[in-house]
């Protein structure tokens, strides 16, 4: 599974919190998540129609927009997406 964080430049507090959270979550799913962070100004970000950052996407499924998600809920959701 690929998880992408689209973050503001320079990163806002919510973008920094989302990045730190994803780095912690990676330890719970070793080898199962490919994580990357891209700038809202990256051409790829335009494909998602970003209107607010942070924007968290897992395999083209938008998980969060404009806020850092609740970590426990994000862990549960990613677990379900990986299991399918």
| Percentage of the chain exceeding pLDDT 70 | 100
pLDDT at 8: 96
Instruction: Name the CATH architecture for the domain at 2-83.
Output: 3-Layer(aba) Sandwich (3.40)
Of the candidates 19, 13, 6, the residue with the CA atom closest to the CA atom of residue 74: 19
- The pLDDT confidence band at residue 1, using thresholds 50, 70 and 90, is very high
Domain ranges of the chain: 2-83
pTM (two decimals):
0.93
Angstrom distance (rounded) from CA 54 to CA 63: 10
The residues, any chain, with a CB within 8 Å of residue 65's CB and separated by 6 or more, are 51, 52, 54, 55, 56
């Amino acid at each position: 599974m690929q998880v992408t964080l689209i973050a503001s430049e320079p990163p806002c507090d919510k973008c920094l919190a989302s990045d730190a959270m994803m780095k912690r979550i990676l330890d719970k799913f070793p080898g199962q998540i490919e994580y990357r962070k891209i700038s809202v100004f990256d051409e790829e970000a335009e494909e998602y129609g970003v209107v607010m950052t942070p924007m968290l996407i897992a395999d083209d499924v938008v998980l969060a927009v404009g806020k850092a998600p609740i970590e426990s809920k994000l862990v549960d959701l990613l677990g379900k997406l990986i299991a399918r």
